[in-house]
Structures are given as structure tokens and as C-alpha cells.
Amino acid sequence: MLVNFFVRLRSVITISALLLWSACASAAYELNMPVGVTDTSRSVYDLHMLIFWICVLIGLVVFGVMFYSMYHHRKSKGAVAAQFHESTTVEIIWTVVPMLILIGMAIPATQVLIAMEDTSEPDITVKVTGYQWKWGYEYLDEDIQFFSSLSTPREQIANAETKGEHYLLEVDNPLVLPVGKKIRILTTAADVLHAWWVPALGWKRDAIPGFINDSWTVIKEPGTYRGQCAELCGKDHGFMPVVIEAKSEEDYQQWLADMKGEAAQVAAAEAVDREWTQEELMSKGQEVHDGVCASCHQAGGTGVPGAFPPLVAGQVFNAPEPMLQPLREMGFLGPDNTIVMGPVEQHTQIVLKGIPGSAMQAYAEQLSDAEIAAVITYQRNSWGNDTGDVVQPSTIKSAR
Amino acid sequence: MVQAHGGYYVPHGSHWPIIGSVGLFLFMLGFASLLNGGGAFWMYAGGAVVIYMVFGWFSTVVRESESGTYNDQVDLSFRWGMGWFIFSEVMFFACFFGALFYVREYSVPWLGGESRFITHDLLWPGYDAVWPTNGPGEIGGEFKPMGAWGLPALNTLILLTSGVTVTWAHHALKENNRKHLIWGLAATVGLGALFVILQAIEYSHAMHDYNLTLQSGVYGSTFYMLTGFHGFHVTLGAVILAVVLLRAMRGHFTPEKHFAFEAAAWYWHFVDVVWLGLFVFVYWL
Amino acid sequence: MSTATHVHEEHHHGPAPGLSRWLFTTNHKDIGTMYLLFSLLMFFVGGAMALIIRAELFQPGLQIVDPHFFNQMTTVHALVMVFGAVMPAFVGLANWQIPMMVGAPDMALPRMNNWSFWILPFAASLLIISLFAEGGGPAAGWTMYPPLVLQTGAAFPYLIFSVHLLGMSSIMGAINVIATILNMRAPGMNLMKMPLFVWTWLITAYLLIAVMPVLAGGVTMLLTDKYFGTSFFNAAGGGDPVMFQHIFWFFGHPEVYIMILPAFGVISQIIPTFSRKPLFGYSSMVYATGSIAFLSFIVWAHHMFTVGMPLAGELFFMYSTMLIAVPTGVKVFNWISTMWKGSMTFETPMLFAIAFVILFTICGFSGLMLAIAPADFQYHDTYFVVAHFHYVLVPGAVFSLMAAAYYWLPKWTGHMYDEKLGKIHFWLSVIGVNVLFFPQHFVGLAGMPRRIPDYALQFAEFNMISSLGAFLFGFSQLLFVYIIFKAIRGGQQATDQVWEGAEGLEWTLSSPPPYHSFETAPEVK
Ligand code: HEA
Ligand code: HEA
Ligand code: CUA
Ligand SMILES: [Cu+2]
């Protein structure tokens, strides 16, 4: 009954508030939680507004009484202090009434929560893996797998260019999903905690290394929905957005077909058996370096003192001993902590397997043979490094 | 509370606290430098300063106590202080016990497929979650767990006996029987030392014969952290009791006033109870 | 030397000369002063970091700092504010006030009192040193979640040891408070006659002793995971990164009440004074404080709704969290009933207290919204949360501290502060703080995650407003410092009672009070 009362009350107030807000909304910013495009997001929105208005109401009463008292019971108006200071009856009343209000809130909250837990019988299952600092998507029933990272140019972030409309909320490969299908989303992480969040879906879920969380969604309308990583995951936590493209069933099928076709093409282009020219490797290598390695080692290979080693021979790397030791052992650190270009085989191993216990992760799973060959070639022949080494994809394949 | 109010002893300024702070600071700076691959000099230096401070501070307190500076109200303050300190220690151990229960009840079964079977199927297929375990990654390699009925059972017996001897000493003190007091304390200290020695033997056994180390997954982690912190507390408790023993031999304490003795005994019983928890949950179950 | 002469001699000692007065002191007032000044300094250190954060967030794009440094600022700002500013400030108040309020000569364990203070500057130094370590300072948030925190460079052990020291200091401070309250009360001052500030501190001290060791244990596990190969938070070894979150929040939630319960105490002293009317519902206030403390132990996982707990867990923590609104509501209602039919005047302490009641209630409402688990799936880790907790911490805890400072400053220094400047300070603060934090609700709801150095364009306007508010609020605090030092140096002589409606033992002492508060215990009827 109480609930009903509030629900009705809410709808009245919501309408007036919506009018108010739509005025604000015309100025291109948002003040409130998005209503979203799933049943979940809508019921969460309703719940949010319900609680919000109950709180506003309580606030009005409480502050109303308080301001009334502050106005009338002031000494300057000649008020004389009463001396009452106890009443068990009122104490009981204001314990019980909030209790009832809380129960009124808890009931709808419980219903929404229970509905959100049911991940059974999905049409599609997508595994989402958080990496520092990008997302990996894997369609478990389709054999499709790709990475999705920020595509906003670095110049925009550095304020050297004007910022685009979707500044920081755009990626190279969005997650493509069909509308009207129950999609089960499995979240996990490869390195540290992340959280996968698209407000329009109505929830976020933490991505935890070594564990998998599952959630589900049914998107109602085609469109592009943007979100961000929502758990601090290090330096570029603010730069790993999530973009979903929701397509109609036909478009989705088309996309699947394209992906498989394109995937085949990419595979051909990167055919490991082919001899690559140095130019080809260098240009692809730069792409990979700037996209993957530069967030730590920097685009110019200069690294960050104390945290990320430079990739340029002759530069000094000052860092705690546990960080230096593996570098020295693998032949990348000379006297006085200067970087040297160690053996190419070791370089390959580092990229493939990472350095355990450090921020250097294993890229064997994430990058193709050609990409690894290219980036190693690039790094060994840029910024004054002149090893002349040319690494072929076939070499990487056998080194795996 | 009423009677002694005006006589509450408020000491002069004391230089011990600041020395203790400097000591702790140096110790931690040194330890940090050691962990970062540097030298350990400041760690030892800081440790020495802290020990000096403890020695000096307690000497002052003992002197004041023996000269009758403390009235009953001061005594009660000490009691509250010691009681709540022990409570804080209980919570410290509770944290590690909590971790043990969490891994045994939640994380290990989850990794093994219980209620979160996706985690198991996709990430750790083939992992069989039986305690003790070093996890699906088999961190630290194959190991054998520590059984309950060898040395640990003996150690339980030793600690329980020491609980009896310290109580015996307390009764002796209250009956003003100095000889029994000293014997009771000596026996307690001896049993404590024996416990620590046996624990060391057990550790060496576990490391060399069972390949059970701190690195052996969560089992190794919880095993060594719990027993290690406990062993450290036994050592500390035994040292405190040894000091009390020395004081008893010098004729300190009266049948009415002997808070230092009681504090040491409380601490010892606390260590004892923690061990029982360890024996049941780490070794036995 | 006989006992009697000894004590006699002690009592007629004034403070020792020079620096040794402060280094070696065992006097609760000296120690209280040091706590308060230290926390004021830390407030500015932490505030300066907050201003760096707000300056970077003034506009989209990276302008001032790089992302790694930004994260260091977020992390250390929070740690400094929580452990360096707010907590020590309340211990400082406890030191000054509790002996005077219960009619004791000093704290129960005066030497340990000195130590619990003198650990703090060293702990803070370790934390600040860590910022200059190779690889940068701690940058994983004040919550220190693994595995990220394990990527910290040379700063890592400094962070951990600093937390250990801060914990030791808090535990010793808390033990002292409990022993003082339980053992040092004047004859007749039974528990249910104690001022509410004393009550709230008694319960806070209990919380501190119960949870600081748990935090110490948790960070110790971090240390061994990083340096000694343990697997507490590593799934491959059978552990779980989420376990740290459980440990942290088992500490962390009581911790937030540690920062607000003494504030409740302060407000419960001030409102009756300026309403010239006894506190309404004293005993229900005590029971409410106790209930809040009890509930605070069983709500921790409301910070972790999105980690994927089983349904039963989510429900349990949702319900228990919502329940906290009941005893907290009792407090708010009692304060308002105290004001009702009083004879109010609005000096600076009262203004801050009223702002506290209003703004704290607003924060409580946002807290309640966060407690609704399915809605928290949207709010979590956004600026909505940042807005929520700053409303409790700044216009909540910090305002109560300012109220307390104005309220007791005349007692401590013997001089009235400058009432006009105090009022200006209040209005600048209350406007600044709302401009600073209110817009953060909006950006949070609209989807801005926390802990990011750069943001999408739709959040630009409100961030700019918020940053302007931050600078207004921040620089107004320089006025606060000026007012305090002005009152220390001189000003109109304060009477013993100071405030017309003030009641309690501390107001029976001279202003400033004698070096040893109550040499002979007062009789409390
Ligand atoms: C002093 C500190 C303080 C205080 C007092 C509170 C009080 C409360 N907090 Fe807050 N909280 C923090 C400090 C604090 N919090 C911090 C620091 C964080 C973030 C940490 C981090 O992640 O870094 C946080 C985060 C936080 C979260 C996690 C959000 C997330 O990360 O997703 C939640 C979720 O439940 C929450 C809830 C609450 C609730 C229900 C209260 C309640 O106690 C509020 C109760 C008060 C009222 C409700 C108002 C008065 C009552 C009435 C007038 C009665 C009538 C009212 C009703 C019946 C509704 N808080
Ligand atoms: C008691 C605790 C407390 C207090 C008082 C404050 C006070 C403030 N906080 Fe803080 N804050 C936290 C606790 C606190 N905060 C916590 C726990 C977090 C979460 C951290 C995390 O995510 O891990 C946080 C995070 C946090 C963020 C989010 C960062 C992010 O997510 O990336 C922001 C952003 O606006 C912020 C801002 C501020 C501001 C502007 C103030 C202002 O009130 C400060 C007022 C400013 C001053 C008082 C400065 C005065 C200085 C001068 C006038 C300059 C002169 C300087 C000198 C003389 C040295 N805080
Ligand atoms: Cu990934 Cu934050
Ligand atoms: Cu909380």
C-alpha cells in the first residue's frame, strides 16, 4: 500500500521533474542516470527515481521542520527555551516509521535484483576480458575474437587537436551485438581488476583475474552505446572505453559473415610463411608499438624512470633492484644501468611471455605472429637502435 | 575510582616514546630498503633502538611500580589497557583466520567449480579443489601438508601444560609462596621455549621433506602466516614471562599487587587459545 | 620519595621549557594541541593534492599532470585526509576534551598518549616519502586493491609500513580513550551522565581497536604476496583478489563511522548549547550510536556489490546497510527536537553544526541510494559515490571539526575568536563546498567514472564548476587558519562558561584551563 502510494506519487512528481529536466537537457549535458535500452536499465532507473523521490520527500519534511524552528525559535525573536528533553513515544515513532519506509524500498529493490541474476538460456555468450588497457572480446559460439582499444588520437588528449564528439568514448573495434537476443556476458581480466560498464545496459560488473562473473542483457533498440572501465586499473584506466554497436538480427548476421571473411583475409595477409620486407615490418611494427607498447614504453621508446624501461640502447634506467634484475639476466641492461639491445631471441621471449611479477605482460595470446615480428623489428631499428635485425613471422611461430 | 582520585600518578615528560618512534621509523625505512634490494643496516639499527626503548620504558615503569607510585586506579588503567591490547591482537589473528576460512569456504571451491562453474570450465578446467591445495596453478610445486598428530599434537600438549604451570605460579604468588612462584614461572618459560624449538624443527621438516613453503599456494600462505605470527607471539610471551621470572627472583610483586605478572599470564593464555584455533583449523580439519 | 609528595610536585609543574615540552610531554592538552595542529597541516597537504586533482579535471584533456601522477594524487590525497587529517583531529579533540568532560586530571596512560601522537609524523613522512620513490608513489587508490597495488614500485613497502604505523597510533590512542573514560571519571559521573561527545568517542575507540588490526593484517598479506611469494590474492594459488576487498571493507566501513561518530558527538554538544535547551532524547542517542557501531560490522560488502557475490550475499548486505538509516535518523530527529522550542542564537559553531545536520542528511540520502544493490550497479565507482562520501567527510566530519574548533577555542586559548571573520569563513565554506561537490552527483549519474584524469566532453561544464568550488573552498580555509592564530595570540578574554547555554564540567574550569585539568575530582550530582 505504502509502496503503491509512493509509486503513484512518484509518477506525478516525475512528470513535473521531467519537464524541468528536459529544459536542461537541451543544453547538451546530462543530469541524471540514463534510462537505457534494456528492461533491466529501465527498472533500475525507476528504482533510482523512486528512492530519490522518497528521499526528497523525507528531506522536505525534516528540513521544513528544522527551518521553521530556526526561524521561530530564535532568541532574537524573544523565544524562551522550553525544557522538555525526552519522550519515549516519539522515539518509537521515528524508529518505526523509517523502518516501514525502508521496507517499502526494499521490496522493489529485491525484485529487480532477483530478475538481474537470471543468466540461464542465453542466445549468445560473449567473454569479455580486461587488459591494461583494452578490452578483449570472444564470441564463445562463433570463434570470433578481437581486441578493442581507445581510438581517440593522442593529439586530442594532449590538447593539440580539437576534441571529437566522442572524445575518449570511441574504440577501434566495437563490440557488435544483435538486438532482442539474450546475451550472456562473462567478465574476467588478464592482469588487474577492471569493470565493464555500459550505462545504457543498466549495470556494471567487475572483471577479476582468475575468476569469471556472468551477467546478461537484452538490448531493445539498435544503436551505439558507450561506457568506460569502472575499476581503477592503473595509468590508463581512464582510457579504456567500451563501445557496443547493437544491430538488427540481419545486420548482425551480415557482420558475423564479414568478420569471418575478413578474418580469413587477415589471416592470409599475415600468412606466417610469407617473407615480409623490412619496410612492411617497420610500418606495421610502428602501428603495433604505438597502439600497444607506447602506453608504457612511450611512443619514442623513452620509457618512464622507475617504472617502465626505455627501449633505446644507451639510455639509463633507474629503478628498484627487483625490477632491474630480470633485465640484466636477459642481457638488456649494461653497466651503470644503461639499456642495451640484448639478443633478439630474448626480446622475442619477453614479448611472448612477459616478465613475471612485473607490469610487462605476455602478448602471445594477444598479438599475431606477424604483429610480434613487426614490432620487434620496429623496436630494434628505431630511435637510434640499429641492430639491423629483421624478424620474420615464421620465426615467431616457431618460437612460441 | 572515588578514593584515589587526587593521587593519580601523571608522570613527568618522558623521552621513551619519541625514541621508540625514531626506532620504528628507522626500522621501517631499513626494511623497505631491504625489500627494494638495498642494504639492511638501518633495519637492524632501528630494531636496536626499539629494543633499547622497550627496555628503558619498562625499567622506568618497574621502578615506579616498586616505589609504590601507582595507586589502585592506575593499576586499573593498566588492566584496561592490557585487556584492550589483547583484544586488538585477537582481531589481528581474526584477520588471518578469516582469510583461511574464506579460501577454504569460497575461493577454492569456486575455482573448483562449485556454484561458479564457468570460472572452473573456462579458466581452470581439470582443477580438483581439495584442501589442502596450492591452487589451480600449482604454485610452488607438489607438497605434502602438515599432519596434526605428530609434533603439532605434542605442541598442543606443551602449551596446555604451560597454561597450567602459569596458573600454578599465580596461586603460589597469591599465597606468597615465592619458591613455587619461581618454579611455576620457570617451567612456563621452559615449556614456551620448547614449543618454539619444536616449531622450528617442524618448519625445517616441512620445508625440506614436504616441499611445503610460504610459496605453496594458499595452503602454504595461510599455514606459515598463521603459525608464524603465532610462533612470534609465543616467543614474545615467553620473553615477557622471563622478565616476570627475573623480577620474581628479585623479590618484586606482592600477593595483592602484581599486575605485571597477571598481564603476562593473560597474554600467555591468549597465545594458548590462538594455538587451539590453529590446531583445529590449520592442522586438524 | 613518598607518593604524596611526588604527586604534589607533579601537579605544580607547569609545562617544560622549549622544544622538550612538545617532544616529551605527557600532558593531555599539549598532546591534544599537537594532534590538532598536525591534522590542520595534513588537511592542507591533502587539500593541496585535491586541488591538483581538481585543476587537472578543470577541463577535458591532459593539462597539468600525467595519468600516473594523477592516480598518485588521488591515492595519497585520500590517505592523508583520512589518516592524517580527520582521524588525528578527532583524537586531538578527545585529548583536550575527554579529561575535562569527565573530570579527570589527565588521560589514563599519559606516556602512551605521547607515543600515539609521536608515531604520526613519522608515519606521515613514510607516506610522503613514498611519493618520491622510484616508479612513483602509491597509485592504486586508498583502497589498495590487489593485483594493481602489487604493481607499485619502490613506494610499496613505504605505503604498507606507513599504514602499519598509522594503525599502531590509532590503536594506542583508542586504548587510552577507553581507559580514560572507563577509569578516570569523577565521582558521580556515571556512564549515563557522560556528555555525548564522550559516549561517541567510547564507541569509536572500540571500533578502532576492532578494525585497525584487521587492516594491518590485510596489508601484511599484500606485503607477503608481493615480496615473499604468498598467494592470498592470486587465483592461480587458490586465493582471490576479492578477498582483500572483504578484508579492507571489514575495516573500511567501520572506519567511515570512526570518522563520523565523534562528529555526532560534537554536534550533540553544540546544538543544546546554542538552543539553550538540554539535548533531546539523550539515552536514545546513546543507543543509536551503539546500534550504528554494531551495524557497521555487518554492512561492509555494500562497497562490493559489483564483484559478483551470490544473490543471498547481495540481499543481506543491502538490507543491513539500509537499516543504518534508522538509528542515524533517530540522531537527526533528536537534534531537530533539541532545536524545537529552544532559544537559538547562531554563532559560528552553531552555523557549522546546522550545516552539518543538513548536509550530512543529504549525504545519508545518497548513501541510502547507494545501498540499493541493483541501483548501485549503476552508481558504483562513479562520481556519484565521490559526491556521497565527500558530503559526509567534508561538510560532515570536517565541518564538525570546524564547529568544534570554534566552540572550544575560547576555552583552550582563553580568547574569543573573531566572530565576524568566523561567520565569513562559514559562508565561504558552505557555499564553496556545495559548489564543489553538488555537481559531482550529476556527472556521476550521467556516467563519469571516478579516478580518471580525463573525461568525455559531456561532463565538462559540471567539472569546471566543481573545480571552481574547490578553489573557493580550499582558499577559504586559509582564513580559518588566520582566525585560529589570531585567537591564540590574543582577543577578547573569554569567561569560564564562554557560551551562555553551555553546560558541563569543562565550562567550570578557567579559560584557559589549568595545566592539569582537575587536580581534585569535582563532585557530579
Ligand atoms: C563518514 C563517512 C561516511 C558515512 C557516515 C557514510 C554513511 C553511509 N554510507 Fe557511505 N561511504 C563513505 C563514507 C561514509 N558513508 C565513503 C568514504 C565511501 C567510499 C569509499 C570508496 O570507495 O573510496 C562510501 C561509499 C558508500 C557505498 C558504496 C558505494 C559504491 O562504491 O558503490 C555505500 C553503499 O551502500 C554507502 C552507503 C552509506 C549509507 C547507507 C550510509 C548511512 O550511514 C547514511 C545514513 C543516514 C541517513 C539515511 C540520513 C538521515 C536519516 C533520516 C533523516 C531518517 C529517515 C531516512 C530514511 C528512512 C531514508 N556508502
Ligand atoms: C576526510 C577525507 C577527505 C577530505 C577532507 C577530502 C577533501 C577534498 N577532496 Fe577528496 N577524497 C577522499 C577523502 C577526502 N577528500 C577519499 C577517501 C577519496 C577517494 C580516493 C580514491 O579514489 O582512492 C577522495 C577523492 C577525491 C576526488 C576524486 C579523485 C578521483 O576519483 O580521481 C576528488 C576530486 O574532485 C576529491 C576532491 C576533494 C576536494 C576538492 C576536497 C576539499 O575539501 C579540500 C579542501 C582544500 C584545501 C583545504 C586546500 C587548501 C590548500 C590551499 C589553500 C593551498 C595552499 C597550500 C598550502 C599552504 C600547502 N577527492
Ligand atoms: Cu580497466 Cu580501469
Ligand atoms: Cu560503507
Residues C403, B27: Cα–Cα separation, whole Å:
39
Low-confidence ranges of chain B (pLDDT < 50): 1-5
Radius of gyration of chain B (CA): 23
Q: What's the pLDDT tens digit per position in A310-331? A: 888 888 887 777 778 888 888 8
Closest Cα to atom 36 of ligand 1? C367
**Helix axis angle, C348-371 to A39-72, nearest 10°:** 160
Question: What cell does A316 get?
Answer: 639509463
Checking if the pLDDT of C5 tops 70, the result is no
What is the model's pTM? 0.91
Residues C495 and C410: their CA atoms lie apart, in Å, by: 8
Decide whether any atom of ligand 2 lies within 6 Å of the C48 Cβ. yes
- B220-257 pLDDT, tens digit per residue, is 999 999 999 999 999 999 999 999 999 999 988 999 88
Residues of chain A with pLDDT under 70: 1-29, 265, 267-272, 357
| Residue whose grid cell is 606468597 | B176
Whole-angstrom CA distances from B81 to B88, C142, C176 are 11, 30, 7
Which among C28, C29, C54, C302 is annotated as catalytic? C302
Distance CA A348, CA B204 (A): 40
Window B:117-146, CB contacts with C under 8 Å: 123-124, 133-137, 139-140
Interchain CB contacts (distance < 8 Å): B and C: 259
Quick one: how many helices (H) and strands (E) in chain A?
11, 10
Taking the C-alpha atoms of residue C222 and residue A190, their distance in angstroms, rounded to an integer, is 19
Dist CA B205 CA B209 (whole Å)? 5
Tell me the three cell numbers of residue B103. 579460501
For residue C8, what pLDDT is reported? 35
- Neighbouring C-alpha atoms within 13 Å toward the C-beta of B270: 24
- Cell representation of residue A272: 606466417
Minimal CA separation from B130 to chain C, in Å: 11
In this structure, of A25-34, A74-83, C182-191, C341-350, the range with the lowest mean pLDDT score is A25-34
Q: Which atom of ligand 3 is nearest to the CA of A237?
A: 2
Nearest-angstrom CA–CA distance, C64 and A131: 26
| Contact indicator for A323, C153 with CB cutoff of 8 Å | yes
User: How far is the alpha carbon of B123 from chain A, nearest alpha carbon, in Å?
Assistant: 7
Whether C257 is a known active-site residue: answer yes
Q: Is C240 on the interface with B (CB under 8 A)?
A: yes
Tell me the three state secondary structure of residue A204.
strand
Measured distance CA(C152)–CA(C154) in Å, rounded:
7
φ and ψ of A137, to 5 deg:
-115, 140
pLDDT attached to residue C11: 46
Among A210, A321, A325, the residue with its CB nearest the CB of B123 is A210
Cis peptide before C512 (omega within 30 of 0): yes
The helix (run of H) or strand (run of E) holding residue C363 is helix C348-371
Report yes or no: C160 and C215 within 8 Å, Cβ to Cβ: no
- Determine contact, residues B241/B60, Cβ cutoff 8 Å: no
Residue that is written with C-alpha cell 592539569 in the block: C516
Is there a contact between C358 and A63 (Cβ–Cβ < 8 Å)? yes
- Mean pLDDT within C42-53: 96
Give the active site residue among C56, C225, C255, C506.
C255
End-to-end CA distance of chain B: 48
CB pair distance less than 8 Å for A205 and C279: no
Whether residue C226 lies in the annotated active site: no
> Do residues B222 and B266 lie in contact, with contact meaning Cβ atoms separated by under 8 Å?
no
The residue in chain C having the minimum alpha-carbon distance to the alpha carbon of residue B139 is: C237
CA gap A316, A327 in Å, rounded: 13
- Residue A398, classed as helix, strand or coil, is helix
Check if the beta carbon of residue B119 is closer than 8 Å to that of residue C307: no
Q: Quick check: bond before C115 cis, omega within 30?
A: no
Antiparallel, parallel or unpaired: β A213-217 and A183-189? antiparallel
CA C312 to chain centroid, in Å, comes to: 33
- Our mutation pick for probing the ligand 1 site, out of C77, C143, C388, C401, counting the most ligand atoms within 8 A of Cβ, is C388
Lowest mean pLDDT among A319-323, C436-440, C479-483: A319-323
Nearest CA distance, A40 vs chain C (angstrom): 9
pLDDT confidence of residue B3: 34
Q: Which of C403, C240, C217, C356 is nearest to C308 (CA)?
A: C240
Minimum mean pLDDT among C79-93, C219-233, C350-364, C508-522: which range? C508-522
Q: Which residues place a Cβ less than 5 A from the ion ligand 4? A: C 253
Compute CA B200 distance to the chain's CA centroid, rounded to the nearest angstrom. Answer: 15
Q: Give the pLDDT confidence score for residue C14 in this predicted structure.
A: 67
State the pLDDT confidence band at C211, using cuts at 50, 70 and 90: very high
Predicted local distance difference test score (pLDDT) of residue C135: 84
Pair type for strands A183-189 and A175-178: unpaired
With beta carbons less than 8 A apart as the criterion, state whether C417 and C484 touch: yes
Assign A197 to helix, strand or coil. strand
Question: Which phi and psi angles does B266 have, rounded to 5°?
Answer: -60, -45
Q: What span, in angstroms and rounded, lies between the C-alpha atoms of B254 and B79?
A: 17
**The residue to which cell 538509528 is assigned:** C327
- A335 Cβ contact partners less than 8 Å away, ≥ 6 residues apart: none
Whose CA is closest to B91, among C214, C441, A371? C214
pLDDT in the model for residue C288: 95
For residue B118, give the nearest of A214, A322, A325 by CB distance: A214
pLDDT digits (tens, 9 = 90+) for C301-322: 999 999 999 999 999 999 999 9
Measured from the Cα of C303, ligand 1's closest atom is 28
- Beta-carbon count within 10 A of A169 CB: 23
Beta strands in chain A (DSSP E): 124-131, 134-139, 144-148, 175-178, 183-189, 194-198, 203-207, 213-217, 223-228, 241-247
Task: Answer whether the bond into residue A133 is a cis peptide, omega within 30°.
Answer: yes
Greatest pairwise CA separation for chain B in angstroms = 73
**Does any CB of chain A come closer than 8 Å to the CB of residue B122?**
yes
Q: What is the pLDDT of residue C337?
A: 94
Looking at beta carbons, which residues of chain A come within 8 Å of C246?
none
* Residue C164 confidence (pLDDT): 96
- CA-CA distances (angstroms) from residue A147 to A124, A175, A242, A252, A353? 18, 9, 11, 18, 18
Helix (H, G, I), strand (E, B) or coil at A304: strand
Three-state SS for C45? helix
Identify the CA nearest to C159 among candidates C146, C147, C142.
Answer: C142
Nearest by CB: B123 against A212, A214, A325:
A212
